[in-house]
């Protein structure tokens, strides 16, 4: 026996040994990883957690038409599914390998929010959600890991080869989630750990570090295949305040790093005050701290741009210890005992500068208005012309912004608004669209979700959120589609809070998405409608051949509509259900005008396709003005036609779910 294992076994025998909870296979893996110098995540029940994902059976999904929103021919583009997320993802077998981005916000396991069902260890199809896991539960971390492991496995199978997953988390499970992600997706596929600022005011707590940030862990299914988009630049701030024929951005000519040679003072031709890279000096206090420097121009270029205001400049040592300053020529300016209002040379310069400003098309280095609207009394800025601006900027791992309530003056390669928002803003966003009585505190900012989607989901891509929550992800997709005319789609899965009788998939989540699409607001006002649509589905009982054959007609129609998958057109919104008594067998149509029919023997079982039933299919098709091929579901096919695509019940329905009567394809290894 190796020394490492002996040492582990000799550990304090008075206390329960973690090794006692590991089975033989887990012990072998642990010892191998220790002997090889590797790192492994080990926990009680790991073996069953690894197998759970392959034991879950698909379920029937019922369409809840009263909760559908938007034009009927567009509803199938987006889905809101009420149900347990592992079972729902398995049911969404047809989307396996089709998701561009999974972005989600799982329970943080801080106590009182996360639920775990011990029965899942043996039967993951158990419909019960289990009990809430308390913060003082000694096994709460193990339970959380056991719940996340199979879900991450299924999420990985849902992604395209180029797909990306981004998971929000806080410090409670950050390290466990990181190890889980490394194990499921591979350390080499880690794209980044994003640190975003959730609060901008630290709490006054003398016992611990104030928690102002949370995290997003981003992993690729295959790093070599994944792509990342540059962050967009909002060009609505392009302007021509000075009458310039070419629109321009105001650009901050400073950088937050002190460099002695470029931290000199610049005297304003509009006020006579001194501007340093880190602030203004009005001869009435301490000099601004040396924490920045001028960028994007040399001192000689700055002098030339300043003289374009009709004022002569020169270099001069003014006794500030920052190197020679650029000052108005002939002044006796110094950092002590100087008043520009009493300097006749400065007063002449102010008149010339104002006259130059009034003439229009200012020099490239200009002085903005201050907050009191005094022309030219603000800080120096550069004009950045539209053709000089890059198409986007590379995302970084820290997302913050110093400004949350006031518009931000943008640089040429920065976002004009908050980088990621914060939790207080997120709650205000939710309050505004659904009212203040929602009781949902774990909201993520729209800006955060929009930014993630912009980076890792193409404009025509599909986003999945298995922990839909208040619907922020769906709302973000709708906003992006409105702002950029993209055609992204979403699938949200949400169970709700059944312990308090609130399945808020159909209350909070649904209401937020509905109001975002329609523009309705809780106070009776009207917001700007984002447009779009979604279909609402409810997860029901498990499905197998016997279940399909015993269904009532209405149930079977729903299964056909929700399970159908066109491999030739996977961006299609799916089938549109048709419920009209004038049709005998017609139940739906696709966006190409082809009909879908179920042969049904009155109130009895599924019927067969023969010459007589085919004639009735033709009558339905003629009434609905549908063209062949006619997609016909029936138990048997006794009549064939070149105009018919036959789908055998239950085989084809099960196949659409990854199942058949002889084997379960979903449970096979990749």
Q: What is the pLDDT of residues 399-454, one digit of tens each?
A: 554 322 222 222 222 222 344 444 555 555 656 665 555 455 556 788 888 889 98
pLDDT at 609 over 90: yes
Percent of the chain, pLDDT > 90? 33
Q: Is 301 left (phi over 0), alpha (psi -120 to 50) or beta?
A: alpha
The beta strands (E) that lie in 351-397 are given as 365-367, 380-385
Q: pLDDT band at residue 227, thresholds of 50, 70 and 90?
A: confident
> What distance in Å separates the CA atoms of residue 294 and residue 158, rounded to the nearest whole number?
49
- How confident is the model at residue 405, as a pLDDT? 29
- How confident is the model at residue 351, as a pLDDT? 95
What are the two backbone dihedrals, phi and then psi, of residue 95, each rounded to the nearest 5 degrees? -95, 5
Mean pLDDT, residues 129-149 taken together: 76
Percent of the chain, pLDDT > 70? 74
Name the most confidently modeled range: 2-6, 265-269, 399-403, 554-558. Answer: 265-269
Q: pLDDT band at residue 22, thresholds of 50, 70 and 90?
A: low
> What distance in Å separates the CA atoms of residue 260 and residue 290, rounded to the nearest whole number?
8
- How confident is the model at residue 14, as a pLDDT? 42
Residue in the block written with tokens 């008594």: 581
SS3 for 421?
A: coil
Helix %, strand %, coil % of the chain (to 5): 30, 20, 45
* Residue 267 · residue 326 · CB < 8 Å: yes
- How confident is the model at residue 554, as a pLDDT? 86
Name the most confidently modeled range: 117-131, 290-304, 592-606. Answer: 290-304
The beta strands (E) that lie in 181-334 are given as 190-197, 213-220, 248-251, 254-255, 266-267, 274-276, 279-281, 293-294, 313-316, 325-328
- How confident is the model at residue 421, as a pLDDT? 43
Higher pLDDT, 410 or 150: 150
Q: What is the pLDDT of residues 494-511, one digit of tens each?
A: 987 665 555 678 888 988
Higher pLDDT, 667 or 175: 175
Q: pLDDT band at residue 608, thresholds of 50, 70 and 90?
A: very high
Within 8 A by CB and 6+ apart from 202, the residues are 210, 212
- How confident is the model at residue 311, as a pLDDT? 95
- How confident is the model at residue 462, as a pLDDT? 95
Q: What is the pLDDT of residues 613-668, one digit of tens each?
A: 999 999 999 999 999 999 999 999 999 999 999 999 888 888 877 775 454 444 44
- How confident is the model at residue 30, as a pLDDT? 61
- How confident is the model at residue 197, as a pLDDT? 72
In whole numbers, what is the pLDDT of the chain averaged over residues? 79
Q: What is the pLDDT of residues 506-540, one digit of tens each?
A: 888 988 899 889 988 877 777 788 899 999 999 88
> What distance in Å separates the CA atoms of residue 610 and residue 555, rounded to the nearest whole number?
23
Mean pLDDT, residues 339-347 taken together: 94
Mean pLDDT, residues 353-372 taken together: 88
- How confident is the model at residue 613, as a pLDDT? 95
pLDDT at 236 over 60: no
Transcribe 597-621 into DSSP letters: EE-B-TTSSB-EE-HHHHHHHHHHH
- Going from the N-terminus, what domains does the chain have, and what CATH number goes with each? 1-40 (no CATH), 41-231+421-538 (3.40.50.150), 236-388 (no CATH), 544-667 (no CATH)
- How confident is the model at residue 275, as a pLDDT? 94
Transcribe 636-653 into DSSP letters: EE----TTEEEEETTHHH
pLDDT at 461 over 70: yes
- How confident is the model at residue 408, as a pLDDT? 26
pLDDT at 51 over 80: no
pLDDT at 394 over 60: no
- How confident is the model at residue 631, as a pLDDT? 94
pLDDT at 327 over 90: yes
Give 147: exposed, middle or buried? Use CB within 10 Å, 0-12, 13-18, 19+.
buried
Name the most confidently modeled range: 351-360, 385-394, 424-433, 602-611. Answer: 351-360
pLDDT at 191 over 60: yes
């Amino acid at each position: 026996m190796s020394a490492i294992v002996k040492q582990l076994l000799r550990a304090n025998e008075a206390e329960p040994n973690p090794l006692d909870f590991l089975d033989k296979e887990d012990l072998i893996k642990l010892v191998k990883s220790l002997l090889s110098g590797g790192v492994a995540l080990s926990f009680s029940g790991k073996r069953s957690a690894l197998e759970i994902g392959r034991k879950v059976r698909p379920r029937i999904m019922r369409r809840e038409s009263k909760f559908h929103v938007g034009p009927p021919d567009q509803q199938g583009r987006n889905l809101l599914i009420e149900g347990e997320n592992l079972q729902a993802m398995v049911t969404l077998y047809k989307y396996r390998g089709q998701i561009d981005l999974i972005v989600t916000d799982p329970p943080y396991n801080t106590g009182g929010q996360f639920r775990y069902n011990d029965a899942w260890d043996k039967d993951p199809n158990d419909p019960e959600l289990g009990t809430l896991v308390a913060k003082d539960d000694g096994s709460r971390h193990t339970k959380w890991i056991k719940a996340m492991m199979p879900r991450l496995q299924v999420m990985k199978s849902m992604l395209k080869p180029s797909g990306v997953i981004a998971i929000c988390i806080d410090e409670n499970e950050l390290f466990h989630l990181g190890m889980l992600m490394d194990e499921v997706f591979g350390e080499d596929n880690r794209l980044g750990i994003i640190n975003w600022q959730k609060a901008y005011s630290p709490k006054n707590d003398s016992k611990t570090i104030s928690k102002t940030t949370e995290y997003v862990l981003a992993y690729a299914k295959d790093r070599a295949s994944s792509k990342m988009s540059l962050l967009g630049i909002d060009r609505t701030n392009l302007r021509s305040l000075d009458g310039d024929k070419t629109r321009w951005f105001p650009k901050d000519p400073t950088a937050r790093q002190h460099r002695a040679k470029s931290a000199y003072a610049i005297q304003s031709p509009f006020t006579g005050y001194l501007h340093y890279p880190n602030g203004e000096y009005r001869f009435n206090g301490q000099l601004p701290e040396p924490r920045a420097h001028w960028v994007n121009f040399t001192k000689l270029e700055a002098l030339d741009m300043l003289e374009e205001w009709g004022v002569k400049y020169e270099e001069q040592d003014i006794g500030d210890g920052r190197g020679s300053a650029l000052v108005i020529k002939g002044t006796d300016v110094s950092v002590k005992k100087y008043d520009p209002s009493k300097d006749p040379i400065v007063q002449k310069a102010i008149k010339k500068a104002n006259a130059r400003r009034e003439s229009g098309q200012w020099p490239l280095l200009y002085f903005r208005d201050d907050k009191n609207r005094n022309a030219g009394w603000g800080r120096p800025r550069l004009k950045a012309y539209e053709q000089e601006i890059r198409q986007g900027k590379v995302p970084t791992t820290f997302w913050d912004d110093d400004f949350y309530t006031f518009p931000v003056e943008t640089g040429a390669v920065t976002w004009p608004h908050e980088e990621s928002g914060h939790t207080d803003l997120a709650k205000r966003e939710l309050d505004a669209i659904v009212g203040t009585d929602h009781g949902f505190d774990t909201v993520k900012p729209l800006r955060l979700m929009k930014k993630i989607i912009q980076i890792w989901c193409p404009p025509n891509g599909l986003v999945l959120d298995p922990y839909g929550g208040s619907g922020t992800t769906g709302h973000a997709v709708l906003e992006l589609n409105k702002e950029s005319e993209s055609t992204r789609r979403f699938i949200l899965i949400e169970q709700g809070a059944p312990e308090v009788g609130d399945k808020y998939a159909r209350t909070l989540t649904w209401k937020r998405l509905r109001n975002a699409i329609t523009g309705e607001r809780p106070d009776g006002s009207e917001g700007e409608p984002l447009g779009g649509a979604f279909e609402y589905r409810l997860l029901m009982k498990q499905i197998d051949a016997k279940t399909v054959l015993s269904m009532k007609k209405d149930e079977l129609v729903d299964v056909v509509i929700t399970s159908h998958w066109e491999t030739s057109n996977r961006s299609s919104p799916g089938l549109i259900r048709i419920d009209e008594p004038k049709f005998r067998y017609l139940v739906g149509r696709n966006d190409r005008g082809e009909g879908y029919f179920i042969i049904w023997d009155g109130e009895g079982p599924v019927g067969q396709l023969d010459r007589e039933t085919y004639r009735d299919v033709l009558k339905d098709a003629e009434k609905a003005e549908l063209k062949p091929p006619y997609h016909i579901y029936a138990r048997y096919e006794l009549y064939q036609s070149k105009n018919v695509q036959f789908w055998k019940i239950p085989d084809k329905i099960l196949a659409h779910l990854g199942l058949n009567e002889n084997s379960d394809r979903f449970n096979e290894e990749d």
